[in-house]
A = this chain, B = another copy of it.
Amino acid sequence: MPCYSSDKLNELVMEAKKYTAQGKVADYIPALKKENPNDLSIAIFHSDGKCISAGEVEKKITLQSISKVLTLALALMDCGEKRVFEKVGYEPTGDPFNSIVKLELYNPSKPLNPMINAGALAVTSMIKGSSINDRLERIRAFVQRLAGGQQLSYSEEVARSEFETAYLNRALCYFMMEHKIIEENVEELLELYTKQCAIEMNCLDLARIGLVFAMNGEDPFTKEQLIPKDIVRICKTFMVTCGMYNAAGEFAVRIGIPAKSGVSGGIMGVVPNRFGIGIFGPALDEKGNSIAGLKLLEMLSEQYSLSIF
């Protein structure tokens, strides 16, 4: 399916791009540091197949935290709601996404939700499979299916780079092992997790996945139910309450679109029953969200009344 450049979108992108100067590209991974902070692109995929875009929408980016919501869907399909939420909670935290404090202060210890790092690691540990490779392949194939079927793979370089410096994630994992929230080899789990985070796609793919969530789990073209409706509902809820790190509350008020961001500068947005959105803008604000991406979504939400609230 082709995607057409839209003048109106291009205008909004130009406007939003001004904000990139106030942001900063993530620098904790060499591979991410190389991005151009001024980049900003967007694709919008409608259920009727219409796709409009602005910017270099075919540029590949890694999913990073966007993968959290996809793995949550797969874990719920693998293990069921009951078992998943025995290991991870439903509540926003008000803390940074990589915080460890509440794991100690809450009794019994449990990550508060699946969108913070601790929760996402616990969720990934629930993905079924006979080996790390098998589990990774299941995640990859699932994401590929959501993205419409074209071949997806992960960036070895980004995965390795993150794996080597994932000290905080290791701290979270070992803390959770102590409390039996995680019960597998930590290095293996981190290998799986960092590879899942390094799955690459472009804005079109991101928008295409957003569209599946917008259509309650059904691929609007093949009519296949890729994710059960109830699970999509759960995922969309977490996108609203916890999807934008500890800026989720403000995002819900200002923009009101279920969305999930990643430190690569990607944002996947879901406008229920209408379309999916894929954004790439690597300059981040201090909470780790694409600064111009947020601005762009805010302009879209205001002009087209996209808030679910």
A residues with CB within 8 A of B: 89-95, 99-102, 104-105, 112-113, 167-168, 170-175, 177-178, 186, 233-234, 236-238, 240-242, 246-250, 252-253, 256, 258, 272, 307-309
Given contact pairs A94-B102, A168-B175, A247-B91, A253 touches B240 in the complex (Cβ within 8 A):
no
Q: Is B94 a contact of A104 with CB atoms below 8 Å? A: no
Q: Is B177 a contact of A167 with CB atoms below 8 Å? A: yes
- Give the residue name and chain of the B residue nearest to A173 (CB): B171
* Copies of this polypeptide in the complex: 4
Q: Is the interface of A mostly helix, strand, loop or mixed?
A: helix
Pick from B89, B168, B238, B309: contact of A237, CB below 8 A.
B309
Q: Is B241 a contact of A256 with CB atoms below 8 Å? A: no
Q: Is A309 a contact of B167 with CB atoms below 8 Å? A: no
Q: Is B249 a contact of A234 with CB atoms below 8 Å? A: no
Q: Is A99 a contact of B91 with CB atoms below 8 Å? A: no
A238 contacts across to B, CB distance below 8 A: 249, 253
A245 shortest CB reach to chain B, Å: 10
A182 shortest CB reach to chain B, Å: 9
Given contact pairs A252-B237, A309-B236, A246 touches B91 in the complex (Cβ within 8 A):
yes
A241 shortest CB reach to chain B, Å: 5
Known: A90-B250, A171-B175. 8 other contacts (CB 8 A): A167-B178, A168-B175, A171-B178, A234-B309, A236-B309, A237-B249, A240-B252, A242-B249
User: A101 to B102, alpha carbons, bound, how many Å?
Assistant: 8
Most buried by B among A105, A241, A256: A241
- Give the residue name and chain of the B residue nearest to A245 (CB): B91
A94 contacts across to B, CB distance below 8 A: 91-95, 102, 112
- Give the residue name and chain of the B residue nearest to A103 (CB): B100
Given contact pairs A174-B171, A241-B249, A249-B113, A101 touches B90 in the complex (Cβ within 8 A):
no
- Give the residue name and chain of the B residue nearest to A302 (CB): B230
Q: Is A309 a contact of B90 with CB atoms below 8 Å? A: no
Q: Is A309 a contact of B258 with CB atoms below 8 Å? A: yes
